[in-house]
Amino acid sequence: MSRRVRLRHLPGRLTTGMFIVNSGLSKRHADDDTAAALHGMAAVAYPFLHSIPSRRFVRLVCAGELALGTALLVPVVPTVLAGTALTAFSAGLLGLYLRTPGMRQGGSLRPTQQGMTIAKDVWMFGIGLTLLIDGLGDEEC
């Protein structure tokens, strides 16, 4: 298993990393209403999050996004590690999409207008899986 970052990984890592870092930075100074809204939506999908105060939840999400985005941007982080982290993060977002009422059209995976903002993050899941699978491979394709 190769630990180096291949040239073909860079476009996905850089664009996704920048997107996630920007998302984390935008949450750094979230006001109480924004924190409550983000926490409330997440807690509907993942009930165990109810026990975490909304401001703390947003700080944790911000830190997680900044760490993940940085890991994707820094080429010394092994591809398999970056891919695993991105796949897990995006799987959580897709779980949010699947579990939150009003995100999908009835009896379908097709998003509603409200769900489009999260459903579109399926591209991160694809990039994460690509990095993970490629990072686990022994030979270059």
pLDDT digits (tens, 9 = 90+) for 85-101: 999 999 999 999 999 99
Alpha carbons 67 and 85: distance in angstroms, whole number: 10
pLDDT of amino acid 141? 44
In angstroms, the CA 108 to CA 119 distance is 13
Residue 104 has φ and ψ, to the nearest 5°, of -120, 150
Tens digits of pLDDT across the chain (141 residues): 456 678 889 999 999 999 999 999 999 999 999 999 999 999 999 999 999 999 999 999 999 999 999 999 998 899 999 999 999 999 999 999 999 999 999 889 999 999 998 888 899 999 999 999 998 885 544
Q: Which of 91, 24, 35 lies closest to 63 in space, CA to CA? A: 24
* Cα–Cα dist 89/85, whole Å: 6
Q: At what angle do helices 54-73 and 32-45 cross, to 10 degrees?
A: 80
Residue type, 21: V
Contacts of 90 (CB under 8 A, 6+ apart): 121, 122, 124, 125, 128
For the chain, the structural domain boundaries read 9-136
The model's pLDDT over 32-56, given as tens digits with 9 standing for 90+, comes to 999 999 999 999 999 999 999 999 9
Neighbouring-strand partners of residue 111: 104
CA distances from 120 to 4, 9, 59, 113, 137 (A): 29, 21, 24, 11, 28
| Cα 11–chain centre separation | 17
